[in-house]
Amino acid sequence: MIEEHPQLKKWQDITRFSVNYQFVEADTKLQDGDELVFIPPVSGG
């Protein structure tokens, strides 16, 4: 994704990723039909 959309690079280290409802590492290879979710950093109190 970052190769195609380099503006996403700044978010790579602070974003969690999910593929098909499973948390995965940022370097996980995607397959056709995979559902990718970007989970931004959150804070609460």
Does residue 44 fall inside a structural domain?
A: no
Reply yes or no on whether the pLDDT at 21 is more than 90. yes
Written as six digits, the tokens of 13 are 């280290």
pLDDT value at position 28? 92
Q: Is residue 29 part of a domain?
A: yes
Q: Is the pLDDT of residue 45 over 70?
A: no
Better-predicted residue by pLDDT, 45 or 25: 25
Please give the tally of structural domains in the chain: 1
Q: Looking at the domain assignment, is residue 45 inside a domain?
A: no
Domain that holds residue 33: 6-39
Closest CA to 11 of 44, 42, 43, 41: 41
pLDDT band at 27 (very low <50, low <70, confident <90, very high): confident
User: Does any domain span residue 31?
Assistant: yes
